[in-house]
Structure 1
Amino acid sequence: MARRCDICGKGPVYGNNISHSHRKTRTRWEPNLKVMKVSMGGKTVRMKVCMSCLHAGKADQFIH
């Protein structure tokens, strides 16, 4: 299952956690995705939508 927004394409970001002693460990930050049921062409499908798209109203065009 890909952790990617179906509207804007936002995906995971990689980087380092840095401790107080400056030791580095790899980490991965996931986008805040929610699964929505959407009707497309008379069919009900599931879309993974990030919260920034939901707050901006970009997901409203897919909901009917």
Structure 2
Amino acid sequence: MAKCSVCDKGVHFGIQVSHAHNRSNKLWKPNIRNVKAVVNGQSKKIKVCASCLRAGKVQRAQ
């Protein structure tokens, strides 16, 4: 699965439990976006989560 290249956020696993106590596997996926960003002075396509984009941790390329 994809990971954020800024904060390393990835998939989280857990178990979903219904009212009848039936258990099934569950995964929570981060909101990953392919973004053209400036990395070391060059524009490059990287995978970034939406929370890092909103926080301004990534400078987008023109």
| Unpaired stretches in structure 1, ≥5 consecutive residues | none
Q: Counterparts of 1:54 and 1:42 in 2: how far apart (Å)?
A: 18
Aligned residues of 2:14 and 2:25 also touching (Cα < 8 A): yes
Partner of 2:47: 48
Which letter maps to 1:13?
H
AA partner of residue 4 (structure 2)? C
Aligned to 1:22: 21
2:25 is matched by which residue type in structure 1? R
CA displacement at 1:34 relative to structure 2 = 0.6
Q: Report the number of matched residues.
A: 61
**Which segments of 5 or more consecutive residues in structure 2 lack a partner in the other structure?**
none
Taking structure 1 as the reference length, the TM-score comes to: 0.79
CA deviations over 1:15-57 (Å, ceiling 9, x no partner): 0111121111011111101100124456542111001101111
Q: CA RMSD in A?
A: 1.7
Letter in 1 for 2:52: C
Share of identical aligned residues, percent?
36
Alpha-carbon distance in 2 for matches of 1:42, 1:54: 18
Q: Structure 2-normalised TM-score?
A: 0.81
